Chains A and B, each alone.
Chain A
Amino acid sequence: DAKTTQPNSMESNEEEPVHLPCNHSTISGTDYIHWYRQLPSQGPEYVIHGLTSNVNNRMASLAIAEDRKSSTLILHRATLRDAAVYYCILRAAQGAQKLVFGQGTRLTINP
């Protein structure tokens, strides 16, 4: 399983943008980049995913480096409800659909 590296923790202020980085230097050409987050006392929830191009949805944006060895999850205007552990996950195109979670980044939002 290809490995991802994320900072252990980050802190931001409410209503400011947040950029959560992820390094995945051993990514293969067909690996998808997924982001999940886990709010306190809840199961993980899907945030966004991409393959090569940048992606936007109602929750966040995903910026993927041209060489695909890193990506950044962007929360455009953080709220207190965005405080969670964010996981960057690579999913192979072939095989089962398992998610391989690392330690993730614990995001703290200050009011």
Chain B
Amino acid sequence: DAGVTQSPTHLIKTRGQQVTLRCSPKSGHDTVSWYQQALGQGPQFIFQYYEEEERQRGNFPDRFSGHQFPNYSSELNVNALLLGDSALYLCASSLLAGGPSNEQFFGPGTRLTVL
């Protein structure tokens, strides 16, 4: 089992551009969550997808959008990039049925740098 995989590992963009990050969940998992981690901070929840629908969203602007595919993989899109969007973007997968006691499995993240 490959666990949670994310691509690309690193990305450099300029202000105003758009970016798409990809995540494949752990085998058997149906829920994908995305987090943003600025340098020296804890991860911040962006949103969560289940059954191809956004279930919950954190305090992020509409420039951040996502998608989940029938195979449970997911994409995070960020439009009109700002310098402040530079961060490590983490994807986590889990089983919805596990409820609040289940664990989330994190990928290694995508390091986005906006110049």
- Among A41, A97, A99, chain B packs the most CB atoms within 10 A around the CB of A97
- List CB contacts (< 8 Å) of B84-114 with chain A: 90, 92, 94, 96, 98-109
Report A61 CB to chain B, min CB distance, Å: 17
Binding site for B on A (CB under 8 A): 31-32, 34, 41-46, 49, 51, 85, 87, 91-104
Flag if B58 contacts A43 (CB, 8 Å): no
Neighbouring B residues of A94 by C-beta, 8 Å? 100
The 26 sampled A-B contact pairs (Cβ below 8 Å) are: A32-B100, A34-B103, A41-B108, A42-B108, A43-B107, A43-B108, A43-B109, A44-B43, A44-B106, A49-B101, A91-B100, A91-B101, A94-B100, A95-B56, A96-B56, A97-B31, A97-B33, A97-B48, A97-B94, A97-B98, A97-B99, A98-B33, A98-B56, A98-B58, A101-B44, A103-B41
